[in-house]
Amino acid sequence: MIKLDHLTKRFGRFAAVDDLSLEVRGGEIMAFLGPNGAGKTTTLRMIGGLLEPTGGRIEVKGHDLARSPLEVKRIMGFIPDRPYLYEKLTAREFLVFSGGLYGVPPDRASSRGKELLRLFDLADWSDELIESFSHGMKQRLVMASALLHEPEVLVIDEPMVGLDPRGARMLKNLFRGLRDRGVTLLLSTHTLSVAEEICDRVAIIHKGRLISVGTVEDLRLLAHRHEAGLEEVFLTLTSEGEELKD
């Protein structure tokens, strides 16, 4: 569903993403892991159409992002790591606006927005200004807006940040439900337990390069840590990646 082909992004001489090739299959949840500064956010921003790659190709559901950006964006929901919200809009207004961006008619956006606000426990706040929302509430609102146009692909940078345990559990169940309905999810996260719990496959990136991809079991084998949790596997693989690079 998402295909990255020799994707590269350079900032001056620094390669933030270096010749990255990866495929996310339709209807799977893939965790995109890596230490800080590994190039996760840059990769996701390129998939989201916010940054232009220096080299390589991004394909979503057979559409080349560079050639048909609108086709790709229509079927995709993207949530950046620090999403912008209009503080002086109410939650409901924001959803109607956001739906409008994806061509959802206002009445449909309004009715579906209501459902989503209820789903994300924000129904009582629908007419409050966003400036009065807590960080977690804003995160839930952004999530609701990304689901409004019923995307086939969801790309989310750090979905769990700021969520309370209840919100985190709700989100995990939601992701599973979406996958069961055929939605493809690519999540960047530092919460390895989430990756272990709900993701079908995990890709690990380090210093801009893909160092491993597979199920958690595959990665355990690769790291020679058969009984270990994902955290230890991650640390082993990224420290090996460090040595390889050095």
Partner 1 sequence: MTESSLFNLFSPKIWSVMNRIRRRDRTTIVRIAVGSILALLFWLGAASITTRVLVHFRSAEIIGDLLAAKLLAMYWLVLFSVLLMSGLITALSTYFLAADLPLFLAAPVSISRLFYARLVETTALSSWMVFLFGLPVPVTYGRVYGAGLDYYLAMVPVFGSLILISVGVSVIFVHLLMRVFPARRTRDVLILLSLVGVLILYFLFRFLRPERLVNPETFATLTIFVAELGAPSSPWLPSVWAAETLIPLLTGKEGTPYFHLSLLISTAAAVAVIGETLARKVYAGGVSRAQEGRRIRLSGRPIVEKVLGRIAFAFPGGVGLVLAKDIRTFFRDTLQWSQLLLLAAIIVVYLYNYMVLPLDWIGAGGVWLMHLIAFLNLGLGGVVTAAVASRFLFPAVSQEGHAFWILRAAPVSLSRIVWGKFLGGLIPLTILGEILAVVSGVLLNVSTEMIVLSAVTMAFLSFAISGMAVGLGARYPDFRAGSIAHVQMGYGGMIFMLLSLALIVLVVFLLAWPTYRIVLAGEGWVPVGAGPGALILLAFGAAALVCTGSGLVSMRLGIKALAAGE
End-to-end CA distance of the chain: 34
- Contact characters 144-173, partner 1, x per CB under 8 A: -----x------------------------
Per CB under 8 A, the list member of 102, 120, 175, 234 interacting with partner 1 is 102
- Contact characters 107-146, partner 1, x per CB under 8 A: ----------------------x-x---------------
**Pairing of the two strands 184-188 and 29-33:** parallel
Per CB under 8 A, the list member of 15, 20, 40, 73 interacting with partner 1 is 73
Per CB under 8 A, the list member of 2, 104, 183, 223 interacting with partner 1 is 104
Instruction: Please report the DSSP string for 56-86 in residue order.
Output: EEEEETTEETTT-HHHHHHTEEEE-SS----
Binding to partner 1 by residue 62, rule CB under 8 A? no
In whole angstroms, give the CA distance from residue 122 to residue 53: 37
184 and 26 Cβ atoms separated by less than 8 Å = yes
Q: How many residues bind partner 1 (CB under 8 A)?
A: 34
CA angle 133, 135, 140 (to 5 degrees): 80
- For partner 1, the closer of residues 88 and 226 by Cβ is 88
Task: Give the largest Cα separation in the chain, rounded.
Answer: 57
Per CB under 8 A, the list member of 6, 25, 52, 111 interacting with partner 1 is 52
Name residues contacting partner 1, limited to 176-235 (CB under 8 A). none
Tell me the C-alpha to C-alpha distance, in Å, between residue 154 and each of 86, 87, 122, 130, 196: 22, 24, 21, 23, 18
Binding to partner 1 by residue 8, rule CB under 8 A? no
In whole angstroms, give the CA distance from residue 203 to residue 195: 10
Q: Residue 150: what are its φ and ψ, rounded to 5°? A: 50, 65
Per CB under 8 A, the list member of 62, 86, 169, 244 interacting with partner 1 is 86
Q: Which residues sit at the interface with partner 1, rule CB under 8 A?
A: 11, 45, 48-52, 69-71, 73-74, 76, 78, 80, 83-84, 86-90, 93-94, 97-98, 100-104, 129, 131, 149
